[in-house]
Chain A
Amino acid sequence: MGNTATKDKAEHVDGGALLPNGIYTGPQDYDFRIVQRLILQRKLAPFYKGLEECADSEDAQEELKEKLLRAAATSPSLLSSASAPGKRPLSASAVPSSSSSQPHSTHNYSESERERELRRLYHGAIECPICFLYYPRNINRTRCCDKPMCTECFVQLKRLESAPTESPACPYCVEPHFGVIYSCTPHPTDLHPLTGQTQHAGGTSMSVSSSSNSMERAPDQSPSSPSSRRRSTSHKSPDVVAADDLRPDWNRRILAAAQRQPGSRRASTSSSVSGATFALGRRLAAGRSSGSNSRRSNSSAAAADYNGYLAAVRNMGTDLEELMMMEAMRQSLQDEQDRINRESAAATAAAAAASSAQQVANTTASPSTSSAGAASSSTTVSSDRQLSSSASTANSSTAQGVAVMLGDDEYDQDSLISDDEDSDEDTPAQLQNRAIRYRNIAGSRSGQMPVDLSPKHRVEETANPTEAL
């Protein structure tokens, strides 16, 4: 598929853009790649242009016409067909209300046709209660109370700095675990091959597994017609995009906050901890599903998850024993990895005498019981010792250890991608069960268990003092 076509098509979905319109001018801290992927997967409404007035009024009709058409004429990013003579009329797939009778035709849309499409898209426009602008009726709905919210407002919502352990609450009904659902209007063009191609194109650049997900999901989503009004949907539903999903590093913020005020949140309830535990499982799953994100980002997200979990546990101030146990588990796993790593390194010592341990591990990992991920993790560990002042780097090794611990035992980058639904179901109890399973392993090494678990010692502990090769 042509590069240009991919690029053009990737710029809009359902008549809206992949980039915000700049309603919020402050510094933005959400992950825009995640947002774009979610839009391409039709899990999140695109960034529609917000109208100042309801599109059914005369003024708004004028505003709509002027704004959208002018924008379309000057920039291809709003409605691409306008400024792209000779190219395909992309609005056929971009605008859901477009006629399905000739979706493949290559003629250019006339002014009136585009106008009619836009008018149909914005017909009966609804006001976003946060930014007070009018949007097509199919914008996101809150999962809990089914209220509209435009994507531009949604991406602003995040955890409070003052209460980083609490998941964002719905601004309308204050229900925790805030999330939205997007149902693009059911329309034949939704199932059009071009649409699938668009998603695939977007997907491959972002993530292998997610593109296949989106292809499967698209037909599922379209039947949910606006007429059958949705009730509250669980935040675990795969259709829900949670506010936390847009900031994979939210758990790092928990850690930062925990370190800033050690012990001051002891009174926090167990629900916040179990929430963090649950989120750990979810995030690990999310990390898996976004397979082709680099390994680094996977591991750093997982590291942050682990840290968030540890912080939450620490905040609770209750289960020091469990914390120590987890640390012991991690160390023993790492020792095991190191051992395997040494073995595989020894096996190829002649060939790879001068090369780095990581390379060795990667080239010889296949016959060994351990995975490439595990091997590289242990090499990270040794190099981390020099970098122990940098928490994020050091923690990535922790993450690998934990990821291995939480995931299947035979765990490699491929299984990372494939079994993504698995740990989504991880409940705190399950995590604990796994933890208990590893207790025996940990027991033999308990001599190494750290006694002082105060935050400032964290980093040194996680950088396991293993001997380098």
Chain B
Amino acid sequence: MALPKRIIKETERLMADPAPGISATPHDDNLRYFDVIIAGPNQSPFEGGVFKLELFLPEDYPMAPPKVRFMTKIYHPNIDKLGRICLDILKDKWSPALQIRTVLLSVQALLSSPNPDDPLANDVAQHWKENENAAIQTAQEWTRKYATA
């Protein structure tokens, strides 16, 4: 089946004008499947880390949200062991006016501001709420351990 024009154009624009700290490259054999790299934002526990993600555009994209998952292990209250992300725009708050670029910018922003009140990884969120400093320290350790290229 032919790739929708929107996906082609979005990919072209993404390549021509990438968002800072973010890269997304489609697979040659599946142009709906992207390898994504997000740099850990400055002044976050993930600073200095390089996080790999996968992004897949389902058949009904852009009417349905892309599927995004962390491949790199990360200690974050809104990202679980399997790399799944708790982010409203990836679920019920998705809008077809959003794009790959805006989704990845939102994921990047989530790294800067973890939200333990809406957790996906309960133990991490608990840790974050009870002792934020210690949790941040763990996140930094994990970043060094798993997310350094």
Contact = CB atoms under 8 A, between A and B. Distances in A.
A and B physically associate: yes
Interface of A: 23-26, 50, 52, 129-133, 153, 156-157, 160, 162-163, 169, 171-172, 174
A26 B97 contact: no
Nearest to B97: A171
Interface of B is mostly: loop
B92 A160 contact: yes
Interface stretch (B35-43, B56-64, B125-133): B56-64
Contacts of A163: 92
Contact of B6 (A132, A162, A169, A171): A132
B63 A25 contact: no
Interface in B95-132: 95-98
B92 A25 contact: no
Taking each of A129, A132, A133, A162, which has the highest tally of chain B beta carbons within 10 Å of its own beta carbon? A132
Contact of A24 (B63, B92, B95, B98): B63
B96 A25 contact: no
B92 A172 contact: no
A52 B97 contact: no
Given A25-B1, A132-B6, A132-B10, A169 B95 contact: yes
Contacts of B4: 23, 131
A149 to B, nearest CB: 9
A30 B4 CA distance: 21
Interface string B55-94: 0000110110000000000000000000000000001110
29 contacts: A23-B4, A23-B5, A24-B60, A24-B63, A25-B1, A26-B60, A52-B5, A52-B9, A129-B97, A130-B6, A130-B96, A131-B4, A131-B5, A131-B6, A132-B9, A133-B6, A153-B96, A156-B63, A156-B96, A157-B63, A157-B96, A162-B92, A163-B92, A169-B95, A171-B95, A171-B96, A171-B98, A174-B93, A174-B95
Nearest to A163: B92
Contacts of B5: 23, 50, 52, 131-133
Contacts of A160: 92
A130 B62 contact: yes
The 3 closest A-B pairs by CB, nearest first: A171-B95, A171-B97, A132-B6
B6 A26 contact: no
Contacts of B95: 169, 171-172, 174
Nearest to B12: A132
Nearest to A162: B92
B120 to A, nearest CB: 17
A131 B9 CA distance: 9
A319 B59 CA distance: 42
Contacts of A171: 95-98
B51 to A, nearest CB: 28
A171 B64 CA distance: 12
Contacts of A24: 60, 63
A174 B62 CA distance: 16
B102 to A, nearest CB: 12
A170 to B, nearest CB: 8
A130 B97 contact: yes
Nearest to A174: B95
Contacts of A130: 6, 62, 96-97
Given A131-B4, A133-B5, 14 more contacts: A23-B4, A23-B5, A24-B63, A50-B5, A132-B9, A153-B96, A157-B63, A157-B96, A160-B92, A163-B92, A169-B95, A171-B95, A171-B97, A171-B98
Given A130-B97, A162-B92, A172-B97, A26 B59 contact: yes
Contacts of A129: 97
Interface in B1-57: 1, 4-6, 9-10
Contacts of A133: 5-6
A169 B95 CA distance: 9
A130 to B, nearest CB: 5
Contacts of A169: 95
Nearest to A160: B92
A421 B96 CA distance: 33
Contacts of B96: 130, 153, 156-157, 171
B33 to A, nearest CB: 19
A24 B60 CA distance: 8
B17 to A, nearest CB: 15
A25 to B, nearest CB: 7
Contacts of A131: 4-6
A410 B98 CA distance: 50
B64 to A, nearest CB: 10
Contacts of A153: 96
A132 B93 CA distance: 21
Nearest to B13: A132
A171 B98 CA distance: 8
